Amino acid sequence: MRGSQFGYLAVQANADSLLSVVNQVRLILTLVFTAAALLTLLVGTATASRLTRPIEGLVRSMRVVSAGNLQHRASVTSKDEIGYLAQAFNEMTASLEEKTKALEATSFASVEALARAIDARDPYTYGHSARVSRLSFEIAREMGLPSDQLSTLSRAALLHDIGKIGVEDRVLRKPGPLTKREVTAMRAHPVIGYEMLKGLHFLEPSLSGVRHHHEHWDGSGYPDGLSGADIPLAVRILTVADALDALTSDRPYRSAMTFSAAVATIEAGVGIQFDPAVIRALRAHGAAIAALLTVMGKSRAMPSDLLKEPAI
């Protein structure tokens, strides 16, 4: 008092409750900061996933298309920049698919024209490939082949003899029996045709018909000696159609057979050269196929006891 210390004042309190409050505050602050950190992490992860998932999907679509599946389309899940990019990618892919189909159609038309020109080298085989294509289609439809396989078979039939471009005219048009060397040259045409076309990706499903249309059910055919179910069903159908057209066409050494005579000749090779199931389908659909042969200009009758030989 008046500049002099007069006494002391002290307060005594229990610190336990104060320390408890401080610890609670510390725990609450720790929990708040932990929750904030977790929430930030979750929000960041969700945001990143939302941003990267469409990009990853677009990249996967690009890989699918680059692998050759031009019918694939990317999913457009938003209207932002990524969605716009996916939409632009789909438009580009659709345009590429359309142009590729047009290019394939042009390429096939060129190859088909070459095959028809090869048929025309010999007046006795003119139109042969086109007729085999129509006959194969009829038999295959009777056997229930799906539409994509029907299309593949039709292409194979149109091109099956294209390898004859590598066979000399004197062999192709020879009116009499072939020598051993000439038979070897003639039997090379399936492999020649296969080698010609194997670089065309869109024709890959049809190449087995080009290479194997002279394989036999019992394995005695060429060029690879395939047998039974190892020969694709479409090729077994093509083999029968090829023989049917050959037998019902004029040749230098014989006249055309009637449909019934040709079928009887083919049936003699059931289980040897031809698949029994295909022959049953030929018989079951015989009336329609005979009518088709007539439409294609094969109306000449011929006794059935003529020379019976498979097409070379």
Give bridge partners of residue 270 from the DSSP assignment: 274
CB 257 within 8 A of CB 245: no
The whole-angstrom distance between residue 3's C-alpha and the CA centroid of its chain comes to: 109
CB 231 within 8 A of CB 215: yes
Q: Which helix or strand (DSSP H or E) is residue 303 part of?
A: none
Give bridge partners of residue 274 from the DSSP assignment: 270
Give bridge partners of residue 4 from the DSSP assignment: none
The residue among 210, 234, 233, 240 whose CA lies nearest residue 223 is: 210
Question: And the tokens for 311?
Answer: 């097409």
Report which DSSP code applies to 254. B
d(CA 190, CA 184): 12
d(CA 271, CA 218): 7
How wide is the angle at C-alpha 70 spanned by C-alphas 68 and 72, nearest 5°?
Answer: 110
| Positions marked active-site | 164
- Crossing angle between the packed helical segments 259-267 and 233-247, to the nearest 10 degrees: 130
Q: Which helix or strand (DSSP H or E) is residue 216 part of?
A: none
Question: And the tokens for 8?
Answer: 């002391």
- Residue 274 has φ and ψ, to the nearest 5°, of -120, 150
How wide is the angle at C-alpha 153 spanned by C-alphas 148 and 159, nearest 5°?
Answer: 135
The residue among 117, 125, 131 whose CA lies nearest residue 165 is: 117
